[in-house]
Amino acid sequence: MTELATPTRRPLAWRVATVAAVREESVVARTLVLDVPDWPGHIAGQHVDVRLTAPDGYTAQRSYSLASAARASAGYAVSTVEILVQRIPRGEVSPWLCDIAMVGDQFEIRGPVGGYFVWEPSRPEPVLLVAGGSGIAPLMAMIRTRKEAGSRVPFRLIYSVRDPDTLIFGEELARRARDDHGLDVTIVYTRQTPPGWRRPPGRLDAVLLAEAGWPATLAPACYVCGPTGFVETVADLLVAAGHDPAAIRTERFGPTG
Amino acid sequence: MAVVTRGFTGRGRREVDLPPGQYLTDDFPVLSAGPTPRISLDEWRFEVADGDGTRQAWSWPELLALPSEEITTDIHCVTKWSKRGTHWRGVSLDTLLSGVDSDVGYVMAHSYGGYTTNLPMADVRDGKAWVAYEYEGEPLAPEHGGPARLLVPHLYFWKSAKWVRGLRLMATDEPGFWESAGYHMYGDPWREQRYWGD
Ligand SMILES: Cc1cc2nc3c(=O)[nH]c(=O)nc-3n(C[C@H](O)[C@H](O)[C@H](O)COP(=O)(O)OP(=O)(O)OC[C@H]3O[C@@H](n4cnc5c(N)ncnc54)[C@H](O)[C@@H]3O)c2cc1C
């Protein structure tokens, strides 16, 4: 547990974010492009706190990873950032972000937060990314940052989803797997695969992790993100496969596995 | 100046006695930076050390032989969830620090797996902090910090170091793991001290 990125020591003020665009990324999740004047910039992997305010002054806060590249994303000014929100049924905040928010709506965010679950293009080691469900969000920021920074560090992404409907960023990942040199993408379907898929549905296991990941001897930097149970399982598998626990960084999004 | 969010009413009702920005959950979410360490009870030690080396150490059976307390408390995680009325069993840090001078200002908690977190000595004495090894009547599960974790419930829960292995006494305050990564040095939920500068 070393090598912390050093964010600047400035108080994190609440800023007004205006929804600039919305992109549906699957049946269950959407990207919100947010216009945030004076956005200070971020490192791939960091998150923001979102605060929604009801007319009576009641507020609710939740954390969302920044999904956009650490630099300006193509086509948008530096003051825009993107978050990827998965709809949690009966949730308080995510249904508003997924179903009600539209272009022009405003709420508050503050950040960027977190200096550990981060990747910077200056790092030389190969990278293993393992995502479950919406855990793809901060890992997508790393994949996008790698491309924009022109990094040639080899990346392997293993992405576990329930079925084709819950695959987030499916098209972009397919395109990047083709165009981003040195990026390998492996999708794992746990319940139902697309027609003609080469592997029957099943959970990510040690065999698949060995096939689609990196051997521990290469000492890759590992980033694991998703629901708590998924992260626990994958981190344990990586340790059992000989990876240095200090090289495995985790971010746990939700209580359920 | 808060902006009102169009179409948002808020489902969680106004829980007046929760710290600002927190919501209640019945789950027990997990916040950790890396894999869950698995620690054998044969090798487990809890040490109180100063700059010159170890002062005092307890093995697992020695810890269990100390007087324990039952603690019922609310807990507040910096990732926004709070949990009401959780039940713990553990040894008060007053017991474990009884041999330490009262003029030591701070401690750094160290954990198996490399995690650290800093605390003022005043916040771990006088019945405010424990080394806890039971949760809801069961041995503390590894993902929640077992075999034993610190329990300092009046601060954000990252201060309640999981997999704790000891305390290092410090004359001056130094940042621990999350405190070096943008989180507040003290972490009082009632003053919403989440991040640097809060
Ligand atoms: C550091 C961090 C980064 C995060 N980044 C993202 C992100 O990029 N994208 C994203 O979509 N979410 C992310 N989350 C999760 C997010 O903060 C919220 O927890 C989530 O959106 C649910 O909030 P809610 O208000 O809709 O549901 P709540 O009202 O909080 O919960 C409603 C019910 O759903 C359950 N629940 C909560 N979260 C989940 C979950 N993930 N899966 C299944 N059940 C759940 C709760 O236990 C509860 O029973 C992140 C969390 C953390 C801590």
The answer to whether position B174 is within a domain reads: yes
Domain span holding position B45:
39-191
The residue whose C-alpha atom lies closest to atom 32 belonging to ligand 1 is: A91
Cα(A113)–Cα(A66) distance, integer angstroms = 10
**Ligand 1 atom nearest B80 alpha carbon:** 53
* Contact call for residues A26 and A165 (beta carbons, < 8 A): yes
The answer to whether position B101 is within a domain reads: yes
Burial A197-224 (b: 16+ CB within 10 A, else e): eeeeeeebeeebbeebbbebeeebbbbb
Least confident segment among A63-67, A242-246, A252-256: A252-256
pLDDT at site A155: 98
pLDDT in tens, chain B (198 residues): 579 999 998 876 665 689 999 998 888 878 889 999 999 999 999 999 987 777 899 999 999 999 999 999 999 999 999 999 999 999 999 999 998 877 899 999 999 999 999 999 999 999 999 999 999 999 999 999 999 999 999 999 999 999 999 999 999 999 999 999 889 999 999 999 999 889
The answer to whether position B164 is within a domain reads: yes
Mean pLDDT for chain A overall: 92
* Contact call for residues A225 and A253 (beta carbons, < 8 A): yes
The answer to whether position B14 is within a domain reads: no
List the domains of chain A with CATH numbers.
14-112 (2.40.30.10), 127-253 (3.40.50.80)
Model confidence, pTM: 0.93
Report which residue type is found at A182: G
Radius of gyration of chain A (CA): 18
The answer to whether position B158 is within a domain reads: yes
The Cβ of residue A49 has, within 10 Å, a number of other Cβ atoms equal to 22
Is A93's C-beta closer than 6 angstroms to any atom of ligand 1?
yes
* Residue A109 sits at the chain B interface (C-beta within 8 Å): no
Domain count, chain B: 1
How far is A107 from chain B, CA to nearest CA, in Å?
A: 6
Cβ pair A254:B29 closer than 8 A: yes
CATH number at residue B162: 3.90.420.10
How far is A197 from chain B, CA to nearest CA, in Å?
A: 31
The answer to whether position B18 is within a domain reads: no
Q: Which residues lie below 8 Å from residue A31, measured CB to CB, with a gap of 6+?
A: A22, A23, A25, A67, A82, A83, A84
Least confident segment among A233-237, A250-254, B89-93: A250-254
The answer to whether position B196 is within a domain reads: no
Judged against a pLDDT cut of 50, whether residue A3 lies above it is answered with no
The answer to whether position B179 is within a domain reads: yes
